[in-house]
Amino acid sequence: MQNNVTFAGNRASKKTIRFDIRQGHLSQYMGPDKPRREFDYAEGQLEGISIRSHETPGGEINFMDLYFVNGESKFVISSIASSSVSADLIAHLANLKELKSTVRIEVWQKGTYTNCAVMENGEKLPFLSLPKAVRVQNGLKMIVDSTDRDTAVLKLIEELNSRLGYEAK
């Protein structure tokens, strides 16, 4: 397992590398029949955040993409938009002081949950309190309703993108 990504991508090709947050790691898909590369953290300058939809046989899934640059290299960290790790990342990133600073994202597994920490220039960013996801009865099932939290996260993403001067794609 790799320990970090201080930069990602091939400098000559300018290719953007994509990392997914999976089971407590930043995971890079290497191709069919090849093992994923796993990292504990990545660091670079945050360029922007977008939400994208992906159609699956089970329905539409929204992903949050965090765009970073480190020197000439670019990388994206993706997670399911309504997940608690996405909300945690935004709750930390909302406290960025300097927009051109080096941001470090760390992820790790604790029990069944993926946790994260966000640092700016080596200092841990505080967590902004968000509405909690709640369990509600839906017929015979208990479901998690994260509507209030998701709305707050989308507002924070808009504010961050505005501060960064990023136009979501």
The answer to whether position 11 is within a domain reads: yes
H-assigned helices in the chain: 84-93, 147-164
Domain count, the chain: 1
Residue 28 three-state SS: strand
What average pLDDT does the segment 160-164 reach?
94
Confirm whether 169 is domain-assigned: no
In a domain, 66, yes or no: yes
Quick check: 116 and 106 in contact, CB under 8 A?
yes
Give residue 115's Cα distance to chain centre.
11
In a domain, 17, yes or no: yes
Check pLDDT > 80 for residue 114: yes
Q: With respect to residue 22, please indicate whether it lies within any of the assigned structural domains.
A: yes
Structure tokens at 18: 């994509």
- 4-32, pLDDT tens digit by residue? 555 544 444 467 888 999 988 999 988 88
CA–CA distances in Å: residue 109 to residues 40, 96, 138, 149, 154: 10, 24, 30, 22, 25
Following CA atoms 117, 110, 129, 84 in sequence, which dihedral angle do they give, to the nearest 10 degrees?
Answer: 100
Report yes or no on 43 lying in a domain.
Answer: yes
CB 50 within 8 A of CB 160: no
Compute the average pLDDT of residues 111-134: 92
- Strands 113-120 and 123-124: what pairing? antiparallel
For the chain, what is the mean pLDDT? 88
Give the contacts of 51 (CB within 8 A, at least 6 positions apart): 62, 63, 64, 65, 81, 154, 157, 168
Domain of 104 in residue numbering reads as 4-164
**What are 105's strand-pairing partners?**
42, 118
For the stretch 68-111, pLDDT in tens is: 998 888 999 999 998 999 999 999 999 999 988 999 999 999 99
106 falls within a domain: yes
